[in-house]
Amino acid sequence: MESYSTVALVAFLLVMISLSCFGKAADQKVFGASFIFGDSLVDAGNNNYFPTLSKANIAPNGIDFKASGGKPTGRYTNGRTIGDIVGEELGAPNYAVPFLDPNSTAKEKLSGVNYASGGGGIMNATGRIFVNRLGMDIQIDYFNITRKQFDQSMGASKARDYIMKRSFFSVTIGANDFLNNYLLPVLSIGARISQSPDSFVNDMIEHLRGQLTRLYQLDARKFVVGNVGPIGCIPYQKTINQLNEDECVELPNKLAVQYNARLKDLVAELNDNLPGATFVLANVYDMVLELIINYKKHGFTTASKACCGNGGQFAGIIPCGPTSSMCSDRDKHVFWDPYHPSEAANLIIAKQLLDGDTKVISPMNLRQLRDH
């Protein structure tokens, strides 16, 4: 009798444990795919596959990227991008693969595809200085190809459900529209020749509205859109303008703030007007500026000097490459090169995107968006 009771008790406990585990699994949203659009801040290697002056597939870029054994992959940093870190934290089985990578598999693409391109922007003219790059319009054209591939591999109904309910779309773009378009020297090809700041920012917003709406029409529903960071504070701008360590260039930051205010209104408008969509706005400007101002609090020794680069007080003129000087304490520099954050800085920003409050990401953070 005692033996029977023991067996019955063990069986009961096993059933309860299995039901408990099932309940947790049922409650937890399973990560679908991460579709990444943008510029060199999140490019995972698309620029490797066409001729362009904007490339990062040369050492020592990627020196701390464990997945490649420290070899360059085309990421414009020493390790992981923000997109890589966010994907890891949200449960993606692998990094979003570059769309142009001929060796990527259909299975890998189900976890996510990266369309970002160094030099790319909202406006099609942005980045002409690099000869070739993928602008936002082309990136969406490429997603349309992926969208059709999902239909073929999963069936139209399952693919639509997978993309609408289990996947999200991150858009990190806009900085190049100022740095490599509007702010280029007037005697060159910058848009300042013909447009006021108000007119140019308005064009950016109009184009982005159309681009995000087009993604919605292709079944995108969960969006995170980053605003433009304090581009007047990057080592390149500080170096060419011969600023002190605690100074930033006023005009680029002023343009970023102007654009960001319009972007905030656009995100609110799209949330109101596109049924079933959730647009989350990432306040990259304030996150990065806080990191630059309070760099010591975050464990950095400098927020002005590039770890990898050459030229001027802040090593901010020549991009990172084999002949560049490189710091030994890479995790102590906010900036990896004259333009891009280090992996250590990316980790701090990604953490705020994942778990931050509405001051840095609203109306919800990325963990909440995944489960929304």
The ranges assigned to domains in the chain are: 30-370
Backbone angle region of 340, left / alpha / beta, with phi > 0 → left and psi within -120 to 50 → alpha:
beta
298 is catalytic: no
In sequence order, the 6+-apart residues with CB closer than 8 A to the CB of 55 are: 47, 48, 74, 118
For the chain, give the mean pLDDT: 91
pLDDT at 222 exceeding the cut of 90: yes
pLDDT in tens, 17-63: 333 333 333 334 567 899 999 999 999 999 999 999 999 999 999 99
* Residue 37: its H or E element: strand 34-38
Q: Which of 170, 207, 337, 342 is catalytic?
A: 337
Q: Is 333 considered catalytic here?
A: no
Contact between residue 13 and residue 95 where contact means Cβ atoms under 8 Å apart:
no
Q: Which pLDDT belongs to residue 303?
A: 98
Confidence band of 11 (pLDDT split at 50, 70, 90)? very low
The secondary structure of residue 179, as a DSSP letter, is I
CATH number for domain 30-370, candidates 3.30.1360.20, 3.30.1330.120, 3.40.50.1110, 3.40.50.620: 3.40.50.1110
Residues for the chain: how many in total? Answer: 372
User: What pLDDT digit, counting tens, does each position of 88-97 carry?
Assistant: 999 999 999 9
Q: Please, what is the angle between helix 136-154 and helix 156-166, to 10°?
A: 130
Residue 194 is predicted with a pLDDT of: 76
Of 40, 304, 324, 342, the catalytic one is: 40
340 is catalytic: yes
Candidate list 54, 84, 117, 340, residue with the active-site label: 340
Residue 12 confidence (pLDDT)? 38
Instruction: Check whether 142 has a pLDDT greater than 90.
Output: yes
Binned at pLDDT 50, 70 and 90, residue 193 comes out as: low
> What confidence score (pLDDT) does residue 188 get?
52
Helices (H) and strands (E) in the chain, counts: 12, 9
